[in-house]
A and B are shown apart, each in its own frame.
Chain A
Amino acid sequence: MTKTTEILRITNLAKSFYLHNPGLVIESCHDINLTLLEGEFIGIVGRSGAGKSTILKCINRSYLPMRGDIIYASEAFGPINLAAASEREILYLRRHEIGYVSQFLNVMPRTTAKEHVMSALVDQSMDAAGSEVKAEAMLRYFQLPESLWGIYPATFSGGERLRLNLAHAMVKEPRLLLLDEPTASLDNKTKLLVRDILKKLKGANTSMIGIFHDIEFMEGVCDQVFNINEGRIAS
Chain B
Amino acid sequence: MYLNETPVLSIRDLTVRYGKGCSACSGRADNRDKNRCIACGTVWATDGISLDVYPGEVLGIVGESGSGKTTLMRALYFDFVPSFGSAVLRDYEDGQKNIWEASSAAQRMIKNTVMGMVYQNPVLGLRMNYSAASNIAEKIIAAGSRNAGQMTGRAMELLDAVEISTSRMSEAPKNFSGGMQQRVQISKALANNPALLLLDEVTTGLDLSVQAKVLDLIRKIKALYGISILLVSHDLAVIRMLADRTIVMLDGAIIESGLTDQILEDPQQAYTQQLVHSLI
Contact = CB atoms under 8 A, between A and B. Distances in A.
A46 B245 CA distance: 32
B266 A17 contact: yes
A88 B5 contact: yes
A60 to B, nearest CB: 8
Nearest to B245: A87
Contact of A111 (B216, B262, B268): B216
Nearest to A18: B268
Given A108-B215, A108-B219, A119-B223, A20 B262 contact: no
A64 interface: yes
Nearest to B52: A88
Interface in B251-276: 258-259, 261-262, 265-266, 268-270, 273-274
Chain B interface bracket (under 10, 10 to 19, 20 to 34, 35 or more): 20 to 34
Chain B CB count within 10 A is highest, among A62, A92, A123, for: A62
B262 A91 contact: no
Interface string A58-72: 000111100000000
B215 A62 contact: no
A18 B226 CA distance: 38
Nearest to B269: A20
Q: How large is the interface on A (under 10, 10 to 19, 20 to 34, 35 or more residues)?
A: 20 to 34
A62 B262 contact: yes
A196 interface: no
Nearest to A131: B223
Interface of B: 1-3, 5, 54, 57, 211-213, 215-216, 219, 223, 226, 241, 244-245, 258-259, 261-262, 265-266, 268-270, 273-274
24 contacts: A17-B266, A20-B273, A21-B270, A21-B274, A57-B266, A61-B259, A62-B266, A63-B262, A63-B266, A64-B268, A77-B1, A77-B2, A87-B245, A87-B258, A87-B259, A91-B244, A91-B259, A108-B215, A108-B216, A108-B219, A108-B241, A109-B212, A109-B216, A109-B241
